[in-house]
Structure 1
Amino acid sequence: MELGYWLAFAATAATLAAAGWVGWSAAEWLWFQPRRLERKLMAQGIRGSRYRLPYGDVKENENLVDEARRNPLPLSHSIVDRVVPHLTRVVDLYGGKNKVTFYWFGPSPRVIIMDPELVKDILSSKSGHFEKLRLTPIERLLSMGLFSYDGEKWAKRKRIINPAFHIEKLKMMMPLFSACCDELISRWEELVDSSGVFDIDICSEFQKFSADVISRTAFSSNYKEGRRIFELQKEQTELVFHTAENLYIPGSRFIPTQKNQRRNEIHREVTALLKSMIEQREHAIKNGEAKTDDLLWLLMESNRNAQEGDHMQDASLTTKDVIEECRMFYVAGQETTSVLLTWTMIVLSMHPNWQDQARNEVLQVFGQSKPTFEGLSQLKIVTMIFYEVLRLYPPGVTLLRHTYKEMKLGEFTFPPGVQLLLPIILLHHSREFWGEDTEEFNPERFSEGVSKATKNQLIFFPFGWGPRICIGQSFTMIEAKLALALILQRFSVELSPSYAHAPDNILTLQPQYGAQVILHKLHPL
């Protein structure tokens, strides 16, 4: 009887201790730590909103974004208040001359950095301790591969993946780029009516086109064969992004909600499809079949070289790692190019004089002949136009980093647990850095290159900057230049009366209601 009593007492005490530990941990996470961080930031003159348990500014920011999304804009490039109203509100309220302000994402202070020198320090190699924000378990279902890692794991993956994106490798992919462009143009030519005119949603067209390019260049398959992966990844992106906007509650992914179940179903299906493709490629390699020079083959070849060179298993990628990188090809490669081409067509429709200049340059360099790899580098006006579109409509509107230990940054000292937000779109639209015409489309500002346009300040970084600059930047620019050159040779474009100007941030900056334009078929000279 006495033994049973003490066992029951011990069990009760253990339960109470565990409950006490859980309660204290929750209190530390949701109250004591945020208040300490708030005091340390304000003591350094950094102004921001006051912390509110437990969501911080999440709910208020959601309301601001929802309100901004309700109505389209007049035709202009003044888009920041619609795309990031929560950021402009914080900067307006607490910024002033201070280029560092903060708000609360749940119990974490999110510091907005508007100082180009501090942005450069964060993104440069000397500040490697400012890490990527850790993904939640739900965000990891999107599997962004290289983009989601830090430290040695990131360095190892970059060493292996880099060779697949060298310029000579991209040059070998030109026939695949060209084949996808030809199919796009042929499809459009079949759609024209007797007057050579048709109304089309250019956004969905470029999504299909860029998915086709990724399918062929990554897996040597055409769009129809890669369609299932593309469609699933697109659905997963939307499911994950809307969750990422909210505070993640630990364990919530296990609740059998319809969205949780769908996210898991997509993850399993995409993993199975990619695993099958990788196993088929491994079988082909073992049988000595001819290589295809696609991204998957180059990745696996580089992976084998890394393993053989280091004679260490941890120097290579596992099948799971390769699957993650393949997911990255689809999400990053497809999204970035499609939105760049979409906004370029919208902007050229708004500014027909620049459309004419770009077309004249393309015809001067190529005539009616198919564009060549070498010729693309001669398209100065087209390059200027792309840079100005990327300035006004960057694919990614922010970058996030965080501190895992105390870090010195300029005159500030940030304790561990602080999130650092680099507002790409705010810096790209800043009147202070770009002048009074910052909201105007003026490709001439890039006529002497990016360095001259930015006065060597880090105020233009649509693909990131420093060691972690987007590995697929050249891939995207070559693909976009080739597609635009071919389109300008054969079509002119204007906005459809049904077009609604509504830039919206869903992982990348996209037109909320699509991009309806009218294409006019041109007759060769």
Structure 2
Amino acid sequence: MEEVFVAMKLVFSVAVVGVLSWILYVYGSLWLESQRVRKRIQMQGIKGPPPSFLHGNLSDMQRIQAQASLAKASISTSNGSDQYVAHDCTATLFPYFEHWRKQYGLLYTYSTGMKQHLYINQPDLVREMNQCITLVLGKPTYLTKKLEPMLGNGILRANGISWSQQRKLVAAEFFMDKVKGMVDLMIESAQPILLKWEQTIESQGGATAEVKVDKDLRGLSADVISRVCFGHSYSKGKEVFSKLRSMQKAMFKHRGFLFGLGSFREKLSFKSKKQNEIANLEKEIESLIWELVEKRKRECSEASSSEKDLMQLLLEAAMSDQSLGKDFSKRFIVDNCKNIYFAGHETTAVAASWCLMLLGLHLEWQTRIRAEVAEHCPNGIPDSDSLPLLKTLGMVIQEVLRLYPPAAFVSREAYEDIQIGNLDVPKGVCLWTLIPTLHRDPEIWGADANEFKPERFSEGVSKACKYPQAYVPFGLGTRLCLGKNFAMVELKVVLALIISRFSFTLSPNYRHSPAYRMIVEPEYGVDIIIQKT
């Protein structure tokens, strides 16, 4: 019996040693390959922080993030100063990038575990990267895998041929001629919050009232995207938006979502609790969307109309190729609905919130916009013809998107070895461009880069800065945001309506704390004091 026990113990020991040896071999091989790639990058004169074995620079990133979190303090209001504008959110949201940028410049390399990265903020390389038309340069696979529950394999997450096919279908719906036809629906969607704010003023004495605008703007923007793209109002789709918002918050609760930062305990907690929550939300969202799809299919079969919304086009595209199968058709429709639901309302609502925050500090620009709207828009209501005439409003929106772009990154991964300008990028390397850093670089924008000066855009982007390709609130090149026209028109409509009816200042209760939750948004919302004009 004792001999059997000894034999079993020996077998177990051998098995353990074998497993450990295999793990060490695999990790060793991956580590050696990672270092080979790093050496190829360094041979081009590119420097970066030295990595540790297996973990790369993750420990450094955790340490720098922890130090920044301790040092972070809310910026208080005083005498309407520009300190909100001057506050660069990159230093608090991604302090390791700023730390290394000061050490190594606008081009450096670092690693997260076995994955090598290139930080690229040189304007010429940014242009080359964004205008690259090859399909071997796409969204980072490890990141898109994390975003799969929220975006599926829709256009925001897809790569290669799949992305190309989806873009061809969806892009046509957001051409300017189509967007101009959506203006009346945008105005209709804005009426409830305008009425709500007027009633709030009356309920608080009839002179002024304090409102938190971000939630209302999110609802407005959600209603717009529902009406123009899916043929129904926000009341029918608000449960989808609510659950998408809950998933967004759950996924980005930990600062380390992008790069695997955070303590071991946080990661275990995230996996055991948050992943279950996310999985349940994913099922609920997809079920709700499919119910709306089925309803839309019945409506389409019962009515004949030459005007087709995006939902109808998605249905037709998915059903036209029978070889793809029913499951693929359903997946294609649901995934792209999730993408458009999220991107179509969240980024625009956040941009509008930042606009109101900065306009609440700069009343003179409100006055100029109000006069412009009164001149070109009868009764303060814009239309497709008057919107292009609102030049001052356009300048303000562009400046707000420069200072607080909702998108923080342009990120790519090389699926094969690729040449970008004079840069040799090995297969598997991820490329990162920090948009806020580009938008606030004094070398590009001048010594007043941190100041709110919409007049810099008076002659367009080409004259606003030294390198126009460094202005990328909607990306650049082949993966330029499809909703750019839609977002700019909606922002003009909503802001023109608000400013023509109300004047406002930033509330003393406002807490300036930009947060990254897939987009850069005001962590505690935006509070303003409004009064009727």
Alignment partners' CA distance in 2, 1:253 and 1:172: 49
Distance 1:287 1:360, change over 3 A: closer
Distance 1:381 1:221, change over 3 A: same
What do residues 265-305 of structure 1 show as CA deviations (whole Å, max 9, x unaligned)? 0000001011111122223334455577433124334556x
Distance 1:76 1:40, change over 3 A: same
Alignment partners' CA distance in 2, 1:161 and 1:116: 29
Q: How many Å apart are 1:203 and its aligned residue?
A: 1.6
Report the counterpart of residue 428 of structure 1 in structure 2.
439
Q: How many Å apart are 1:239 and its aligned residue?
A: 1.8
Report the counterpart of residue 181 of structure 1 in structure 2.
190
Distance 1:371 1:461, change over 3 A: same
* Aligned counterpart in structure 2 of residue 118 of structure 1, from 122, 125, 135: 125
TM-score (norm 2): 0.87
Q: Within the alignment, does 1:330 sit opposite 2:344 as a pair?
A: no
Whichever residue aligns with residue 234 of structure 2, its letter is Y
Report the counterpart of residue 227 of structure 1 in structure 2.
238
Alignment partners' CA distance in 2, 1:295 and 1:203: 26
Consecutive unaligned residues in structure 2, runs of 5 or more = 1-9, 77-82
| Secondary structure in structure 2 of the residue aligned to 1:373 | coil
Report the counterpart of residue 28 of structure 1 in structure 2.
29
Distance 1:65 1:118, change over 3 A: same
Report the counterpart of residue 209 of structure 1 in structure 2.
220
Q: Within the alignment, does 1:141 sit opposite 2:141 as a pair?
A: no
Whichever residue aligns with residue 471 of structure 1, its letter is L
Alignment partners' CA distance in 2, 1:105 and 1:12: 33
Alignment partners' CA distance in 1, 2:268 and 2:455: 49
What do residues 406-428 of structure 1 show as CA deviations (whole Å, max 9, x unaligned)? 22233332222211101111110
Q: Within the alignment, does 1:71 sit opposite 2:86 as a pair?
A: no
Q: How many Å apart are 1:444 and its aligned residue?
A: 1.1
Consecutive unaligned residues in structure 1, runs of 5 or more = 1-8
Q: How many Å apart are 1:313 and its aligned residue?
A: 4.4
Report the counterpart of residue 95 of structure 2 in structure 1.
85
**Percent identical residues:** 28
Contact preservation (8 Å) 1:69, 1:504: no
| Secondary structure in structure 1 of the residue aligned to 2:101 | helix
Report the counterpart of residue 159 of structure 1 in structure 2.
168
Contact preservation (8 Å) 2:251, 2:274: no
Q: Compare 395-404 and 477-486 and name the one that shifted more.
A: 395-404
Q: Within the alignment, does 1:247 sit opposite 2:266 as a pair?
A: no
Alignment partners' CA distance in 1, 2:366 and 2:66: 38
Report the counterpart of residue 356 of structure 1 in structure 2.
367
Q: How many Å apart are 1:132 and its aligned residue?
A: 1.1
Alignment partners' CA distance in 2, 1:119 and 1:370: 39
| Secondary structure in structure 1 of the residue aligned to 2:205 | coil
Q: Compare 131-140 and 382-391 and name the one that shifted more.
A: 131-140
Q: How does 1:434-449 map to 2 (within 5 A)?
A: 434-449=445-460
Contact preservation (8 Å) 1:370, 1:486: yes
Contact preservation (8 Å) 2:85, 2:452: no
What do residues 55-92 of structure 1 show as CA deviations (whole Å, max 9, x unaligned)? 32342343245335553364333313233322111100
Contact preservation (8 Å) 1:253, 1:260: no
Alignment partners' CA distance in 2, 1:68 and 1:466: 38
Alignment partners' CA distance in 1, 2:86 and 2:377: 31
Alignment partners' CA distance in 1, 2:294 and 2:339: 18
Q: Compare 168-177 and 138-147 and name the one that shifted more.
A: 168-177
Alignment partners' CA distance in 1, 2:392 and 2:209: 27
Whichever residue aligns with residue 258 of structure 1, its letter is K
| Secondary structure in structure 2 of the residue aligned to 1:436 | coil
Report the counterpart of residue 400 of structure 1 in structure 2.
411
TM-score (norm 1): 0.88
Contact preservation (8 Å) 2:86, 2:450: yes
Report the counterpart of residue 497 of structure 2 in structure 1.
486
Contact preservation (8 Å) 1:114, 1:427: yes
Alignment partners' CA distance in 2, 1:331 and 1:377: 27
Contact preservation (8 Å) 2:144, 2:157: no
Distance 1:60 1:352, change over 3 A: same
Contact preservation (8 Å) 1:404, 1:416: yes
* Aligned counterpart in structure 2 of residue 131 of structure 1, from 113, 138, 143: 138
Whichever residue aligns with residue 273 of structure 1, its letter is L
What do residues 172-223 of structure 1 show as CA deviations (whole Å, max 9, x unaligned)? 3223211111111111111113333110111222112212222222333322
Aligned length: 505
Contact preservation (8 Å) 1:101, 1:112: yes
Report the counterpart of residue 5 of structure 2 in structure 1.
none
Whichever residue aligns with residue 266 of structure 1, its letter is L
* Aligned counterpart in structure 2 of residue 277 of structure 1, from 292, 305, 327: 292
Distance 1:102 1:28, change over 3 A: same
Alignment partners' CA distance in 2, 1:292 and 1:91: 51
Q: How does 1:359-374 map to 2 (within 5 A)?
A: 359-374=370-385
Deviating 4+ runs (over 6 angstroms): 9-19, 252-256
Alignment partners' CA distance in 2, 1:411 and 1:417: 18
Whichever residue aligns with residue 44 of structure 1, its letter is Q
Distance 1:255 1:469, change over 3 A: closer
Contact preservation (8 Å) 2:514, 2:522: yes
Whichever residue aligns with residue 199 of structure 2, its letter is E
Q: How many Å apart are 1:120 and its aligned residue?
A: 1.2
Q: Compare 359-368 and 159-168 and name the one that shifted more.
A: 159-168
Q: How does 1:38-117 map to 2 (within 5 A)?
A: 38-55=38-55, 56-57=57-58, 58-67=61-70, 69-72=72-75, 74-79=83-88, 80-95=90-105, 99-117=106-124
Alignment partners' CA distance in 1, 2:220 and 2:428: 41
